[in-house]
Amino acid sequence: MKFNFKKDWQLLSKRAAIFYIVFSVLNLLTFVILILSSNSGIISPIIYFVFWQVAIWVYYMFRYKMRKSMSGGEWIDAGMFAIIAATLIRTFFIEAYQIPTSSMEKSLLRGDFLFVSKLNYGPRVPMTPISFPFVHQELPLLGGKAYSEALKLAYCRLPGIETIENNDIVVFNYPGEDNHPTDKKTNYIKRCVAIAGDSLKVVDGWVYVNGKRAQVAINGQMSYAMQTSIAVGRRDLENIDISEYGTNGTGYYELFITEQNKDALAQFQGVIDISKKIDELGNYPEIFPHIPEQLPWSRDNYGSIYVPKKGDILPMNSRTIWIYKDLIQKYEGNNSYEIKGDKAYINGKEIAEYTVKMNYYFMMGDNRHRSADSRYWGFVPEDHIVGKALFIWMSIEQDGIYGGRHKNILSRIRWSRLFNRIH
């Protein structure tokens, strides 16, 4: 396909020419904003600008020069348009996600399908732009990576319409995953309990932010121990919306429930006691920052810990060198960072303090005892943020998910959850 811009331009319809001009202006504006609003330099914005200019032009040249001469040209045209349009929408505006685990129950249920806004916190420019359309990590059926790391872009984000606030439900890339590029890491969804600049502490399961007890999610769950004198049936528990529990068959139950569930259970005949299960301070090596000999924190008694913001100067001492190890070494690219005794070194030189380059966040699941979150793997950097969860557009209960009876597809649709706003 020979390239002659002047002649090729004359092939475009008036509508196509106007669209390309408008798109070019918007693309140029995006380029300028990226340069002014990020610290990524000029290379990444240039690559992104050129990519989209070329992509749209190639589509038009196929449509106006090659489509009619090819077998199946109409179908190829439709496919190219769908890929470009969907990529633009998913990158800059909105994307669909599914809840795969119970870490956010009962706020969000397994089988909920969500729309997540990229506009609210600002669209993030893909850092791994060469990838198979509509696939995140692995190719379907064939297996293997669905992306190429031949081209990597620095972190860039367009301005958003708001910043992350306490208690927002946020989709982000899982920081604890190191075998994928940042934007190809597994997508997680949690509640942001502490934003950059906050100090957080958990006391007996209650979260405190900057010394004040944080509000509890209306549908947040904790694990409770219940002792009864008579057996409680599955159907009775399902009737009050309790689906996650275990029993030893002797009247002891461990249940993952809300405060409302607890009040309803208290009315059951034969209930002797219902008490919250709390992990006291102790030796929990799985708890971040994984130094139980110095910080014997648990999931229910945690901190105090400071969540860094961009520009903070962090003092380096025997505790902070471990708390901020991943932040300095992994997220901010100081691969030479090492700890010797009670001191930290970068490029072999001891550091007494460190200046933070990004904002960070502390995420927790609403199902507090069934959530792998920041209590286990630490802070979420701003370059891992994907978007804000807006509303549920579909919700389908997995068949027999809790060992209950099998249902047909229509009876598994949770009609009352459709188009519910997420909060």
Query: Residue 108: which CATH number?
Result: 2.10.109.10
Same domain, 81 and 101: no
Q: Which of 52, 48, 47, 50 is nearest to 19 (CA)?
A: 52
Angle CA(271)–CA(202)–CA(111) in degrees, nearest 5? 65
Same domain, 67 and 85: yes
pLDDT in tens, 284-342: 999 999 999 999 999 999 999 999 999 999 999 999 999 999 999 999 999 999 999 99
pLDDT score at 376: 97
Same domain, 185 and 250: no
What is the percentage of the chain residues whose pLDDT exceeds 70?
97
Same domain, 261 and 187: no
What is the spatial distance between Cα 124 and Cα 91, in angstroms, rounded to a whole number? 7
Question: What are the Cα distances from residue 118, in Å, to 90, 95, 97, 422?
Answer: 8, 8, 12, 15
Give domain status of residue 336, yes or no.
no
pLDDT score at 40: 67
Same domain, 190 and 112: yes
Question: What are the Cα distances from residue 328, in Å, to 112, 194, 251?
Answer: 36, 19, 50
Give pTM, 2 decimals: 0.91
> Which domain-ending residue is among 37, 69, 90?
90
Same domain, 66 and 14: yes
Q: Which of 401, 356, 348, 407 is nearest to 381 (CA)?
A: 356
Give the end-to-end CA distance of the chain in Å, rounded to a whole number.
52
Beta strand residue intervals within 81-235, DSSP E: 94-98, 112-117, 169-173, 187-194, 199-203, 206-209, 212-213, 222-228
180 is in which domain, residue-wise? 93-123+162-198+364-423
Token couple for 392: 């549920």
> Which domain-ending residue is among 35, 70, 90?
90
Give the chain's residues under pLDDT 70: 1-2, 38-40, 399-406
Question: What are the Cα distances from residue 220, in Å, to 259, 345, 362, 370, 379?
Answer: 8, 41, 17, 11, 21
| Sequence-separated (6 or more) residues with CB below 8 Å from residue 79 | none
pLDDT in tens, 39-77: 667 888 898 899 999 999 999 999 998 888 888 888 999
